[in-house]
Amino acid sequence: MAQEILDLKENALAKDEESFWKGVKDCVPTLLGYLSIGFAAGVVEKTAGLSIAEITLMCLLLYAGSGQFIAAGMIAMSNPISAIIFTIFFVNLRHFLLSAALAPYFRHLSPWKNMVTGSLLTDETFGVAINQLSNKKFASYKWMLGLNITAYLNWLVANIIGGFFGKWIPNPERFGLDFALPAMFIGLLVIQITSQKRFFVDIMVAVSAIIIVIGVSFIFSGSVGIIVATILGSTIGVMIEKWK
């Protein structure tokens, strides 16, 4: 068993040198989503009063679609900095789960390379990676780096373009740009469901999540309902998988 793991590790490392551009290629299907969502984020950030330099800095340091939309909205409403930081941190806690799910595929890497991989991970690159690695034991660092950097640069460019044109779009909600992020997540979900063909589990999780959101929203706020539904829906999905 130990020799088998060692062989798999060596094979992954041997392919590491030639996999960067494959990671770039595998990211291409998500680029249109990045461009549209990034453009929308740039427009929203510009209408919130941010300059092109501030939009660029936010992309480079925060690099989170949902976080940037939230930050722009809270900045526009003159919320305190502490509230903005706490809200973004809370919303992006899901990245701990995303990183934990991919961690077993990168356990052969050094802590530094794992840190680079985790810091550039997004919902979209996670979706691509988890599908590509479903039948593998180890992942290529350079493949993941190509995937992440391609997404990172496209997100940055799209935000800057959106920020540039944002001055001519004072009301982004009128064009539905505020719905761009949920729309991309819906598209990614549909692709993942159709590729894995586990319709029963996916449907049960979706129905459970909807019921939980509606039920919890009667007691707490809608945002709390979404968080509770995410946790319980995922738990229900895991339980169904084990019972099958």
Between 156 and 88, the more confident residue is: 156
- The confidence score (pLDDT) of residue 17 equals 46
What residue spans define the domains of the chain? 20-196, 198-244
Nearest to 20 by CA among 182, 143, 149: 143
Between 196 and 133, the more confident residue is: 133
At residue 137, the 3 state secondary structure works out as coil
Q: Which residue has the tokens 């819906």?
A: 186
Contact 130, 102 (CB under 8 A): yes
Q: Is the pLDDT of residue 18 over 60?
A: no
Please give the Cα distance from 208 to 220 (Å, whole number): 18
The mean pLDDT of 200-228, rounded to a whole number, is 80
Between 91 and 39, the more confident residue is: 39
- The confidence score (pLDDT) of residue 221 equals 67
How confident is residue 177, by pLDDT bands cut at 50, 70 and 90?
Answer: low
From residue 231, give the alpha-carbon distance in Å to each of 33, 94, 147, 192: 26, 10, 28, 19
pTM score, two decimals? 0.68
Amino acid type, 209: A
Q: Is the pLDDT of residue 106 over 80?
A: yes
Nearest to 52 by CA among 206, 182, 164, 169: 164
SS3 sequence, 194-206?
HHHCCHHHHHHHH
* Sign of the C-alpha dihedral computed for residues 204, 210, 215 and 217 taken in this order: positive
Q: Which residues contact 44 (CB under 8 A, 6 or more apart)?
A: 69, 72, 73, 162, 166, 172, 177, 178
DSSP 8-state secondary structure symbol assigned to residue 106 = G
Output the six-digit token pair for 117.
């991989």
Mean pLDDT of the chain: 80
DSSP 8-state secondary structure symbol assigned to residue 170 = S
How confident is residue 35, by pLDDT bands cut at 50, 70 and 90?
Answer: confident
